[in-house]
Copies of this chain bind each other. A is one copy, B any other.
Amino acid sequence: MIARQIETALSRAQVICKRRGARLTPVRRRVLELILSSDQPTGAYALLGELQRGRGKLGPPTVYRALEFLLAHKLIHKVETSSAFIACADIEHPHESQFMICDDCGATEELRDEEIVESLRRLGERRGFAVERQVVEARGLCPACRSAQR
């Protein structure tokens, strides 16, 4: 993402938080900025490294707490199979999403398919399960790596 878009996204996040009575503090804002800057999912320790370049030594909890906040407010998603974090593509409308992840280059694309979301919820209901969170990730090869392979 380019600088201008990042600024816009940050402002929007700021507004959303204010509306909810939540505080997008400097650390949280900075972590979100770092995540927005990378188009690929970023690991907690990579974020920690970047954070430290500005503020000196910090511990993992600082980053993890910021991530927890951003996740709770759905400003970012966690990609479970990569243990990494990626910016949410549409923070105005909280949603469940799915991911396509390239095993080769790590490229990760967010999808939104309501059919899958509903299928899973229904399957849960049928079994008496109250589904709170969905993790749907498809791993494989992205178009680029696929053609590079041949």
| A residues adjacent to B (C-beta < 8 A) | 80-81, 98, 100, 102-103, 109, 111, 113, 115-116, 119-121, 123-124, 127-143, 146
Contacts and interface: CB of A to CB of B under 8 A. Distances in A.
B120 A138 contact: yes
A121 B115 CA distance: 13
Contacts of A135: 80-81, 135-139
A78 to B, nearest CB: 10
A140 to B, nearest CB: 4
A130 B141 contact: yes
A119 to B, nearest CB: 5
Given A119-B115, A135-B137, A136-B135, A109 B127 contact: yes
Given A113-B119, A123-B111, A140 B129 contact: yes
B130 A146 contact: yes
A141 B129 contact: yes
Nearest to A141: B130
